[in-house]
Amino acid sequence: MSTTERPDDRTISSPRSDRVRRIAGLSGRSARRRHGLFRVEGPQSVRSLVEHRPDAVEELFLTAEAASDHGEIVDLAGAAGIAVRPIAPEALRAMVRDQDASGALVSPQGVVATARTAAVDLALEDALAALPAAGEPATVLVLHELRDPGNVGTLIRTADAAGADLVLLTGASADVLAPKVVRSSAGSLFHLPVAGGADAELLYPALRAAGVAIAATSGYAQDDLFAAEIPARIAWVMGNEAHGLPAAVLADADLAVRIPLAGAAESLNVATAATVCLFETLRRRGRE
C-alpha cells in the first residue's frame, strides 16, 4: 500500500493515490490485460454487476452521497459479502478520465467498481457451453468486426432486451470491456454471457457444431425477413459499421434476408438492423 493510501475502511481522499491512478489507468486495454481488471461506472451498471455477477467484483467505491442515494447497492453488496470502500468525490472523479460523445467528462455519479475480466469476458468454448441444450431454441448475436464501442455496448443491451442467449464478438471488434462499451451496455453486459476476441475461422464452425444456424442481412437477399423461416437456433451476424459483412461470410451464411424498407432510405445502421432482426425472432417465438 502506498503512503498516500488510507486503510480500506477509511475514506480514500487523495486523487493522486496509487489505487486511484491504477483504476484510472484501466481506460487502456493494455492495463486491463495486465491487471485482469476493468472499470464499471455509475449506479445502473454497478447495481447490475453487484446483483447479477457478485463473483466478478474486485472493489466497490461509493461516495457518502451515493451511498445514501443508492442504498440498494450497499444492501446488495452486503448480502454478497462485498466491502464498500468510502471515497471522496474528487478522488472518485480522478478514477474516470473518459469523455462522452460530446467531449464532456464522464460523471460516474459517485459509484465506481472494478471487476475481474475473466469472469465477464468469456472464452468462446465457455460461452457456447452456456447456450440452451441442443434441441432448445437459442438466439445468438455475433458482432463481426464492429469497431465503435458505443455500438457494441448498445447492441449488447439490445440483445439482452430481446432475450438473446449469448453475444459473441470477433477479434477485430472493439474490446468488450472498454469503458464506453461497459457504459453503453447499461448493465446488460452482466445479464447474459458475452465472449470477445473470437477467431472468426473457429467461431462459425463452433456455432454450427452447437446446432446454431448462421444468419445474415443483405439488401440484395431474395428472402424478406418478415416472411422467411427463422430457425429455432439462430445466430444473427452483424458486420462492420462502414463495410458491412465480408462477402465470404455472406456467401457462407445458412440464411440471408433483407429487411424491407418502405421509405426512401437506402439502408439501416447496424444497431437498427440488429434490433429489427432480434425482436422479429422474439416475436416469432411468442416471448413478448
Q: What is the pLDDT of residues 138-166, one digit of tens each?
A: 999 999 999 999 999 999 999 999 999 99
Contact 261, 220 (CB under 8 A): no
Please give the model's pTM, rounded to 2 decimal places.
0.92
Neighbour tally for 183: CB within 10 Å: 24
Instruction: State the residue for C-alpha cell 452482466.
Output: 190
Residue 118, pLDDT above cutoff 90: yes
Residue 63, pLDDT above cutoff 90: yes
Please calculate the CA angle 42-44-47 and round it to the nearest 5 degrees.
Answer: 100
Q: Can you give the pLDDT at residue 3?
A: 39
Q: Can you give the pLDDT at residue 286?
A: 80
Pull the grid cell for residue 13: 481522499
Contact 278, 167 (CB under 8 A): no
Query: Which residue spans within 111-180 are E strands per DSSP?
Result: 111-116, 138-143, 166-170
Q: Can you give the pLDDT at residue 219?
A: 85
